[in-house]
Structure 1
């Protein structure tokens, strides 16, 4: 591989420094998913049944029409960025979520067979918040008792 300054590359190809890569970062994807869910906040969406009790392979294949995952998959931007289907495992990969995080959004144990779309958006926003870390949580707990 040879290094060439941008000025020289301009003679060979159209080089644009202002073009963003197609994939957005995790936080942007989660924010977009929450916005999609908030478009009809009173819509009832299907949940997935007891995801925490399923074997990993079964859990990763779980999906349901009209679920919060299906709302994400309906989005052409997410599909263009590589969201391949509306399964639990694909959402976990695409949004870079842990099982615990995705469980909060889609599992039936939190809200029953359905969840309001606006409530699912709240769950997604909670997940998108940066983890404060152990020290920050201990400091906040200490400040409460002062």
Structure 2
């Protein structure tokens, strides 16, 4: 035990060694590292959490996705944008903890259980003449959560 750690232990009256920081890689050498448990939000809760993440952007413009309806399913699933509603969801720690795997259309469609029509309504540029804002998408998500609590 280092001199600093011994001094800290002596000041607290503890005879135990203080906890030592170890990286995940270091721990993997001595123990089985398990991923965090899933919290198991319902679809409605996931949609509302996404809306809350967008609400925190206070109406800032975000990027609609271009002409989703004209892409074949494989191409559409890999579409992404750094400033899209999906990228906002991806940055939310709760949604990541629930299992959102990335910021592509495919990740969002699977995780939020969205039909092709719902995905198109939420994210495609043809529904947002002019500027898409985070608040606009958040309102659509809340409406969807209320009226379509399960996948249609």
Does TM, scored on the shorter chain, surpass 0.5?
yes
TM-score by length of 2: 0.69
- Which position in structure 2 is the counterpart of 1:48? 65
Q: How far apart are residue 41 of structure 1 and its match? A: 3.0
- Report the alpha carbon displacement of residue 66 of structure 1 after superposing the two structures with TM: 0.8
Q: CA deviation at 1:118?
A: 0.3
- 1:113 is displaced (CA, Å) by 6.8
Instruction: Give structure 1 regions of 4+ aligned residues with deviation exceeding 6 angstroms.
Output: none
> RMSD value over aligned CA atoms?
1.9
CA distance in 1, matches of 2:142, 2:83: 20
Q: Does 1:103 align with 2:123?
A: no
Instruction: Say whether the 8 Å CA contact 1:49–1:113 is kept in structure 2.
Output: no
Task: Please say if residues 46 and 113 of structure 1, whose CA atoms lie closer than 8 Å, have aligned partners that are also in contact.
Answer: no
Per the alignment, residue 28 of structure 1 pairs with 45
Contact preservation (8 Å) 2:38, 2:99: no
Structure-1 residue corresponding to 2:54: 37
Counterparts of 2:105 and 2:132, CA distance in 1: 16
3-state SS of the aligned residue for 1:97? coil
| 1:115-144, Cα deviation, whole Å (9 max, x unpaired) | 11100101111211234xxxxxxxxxxxxx
Could you tell me how far 1:64 is from its partner in structure 2?
A: 0.4
Cα distance in 2 for residues equivalent to 1:21 and 1:60: 24
Q: Whose radius of gyration is greater, 1 or 2?
A: 2
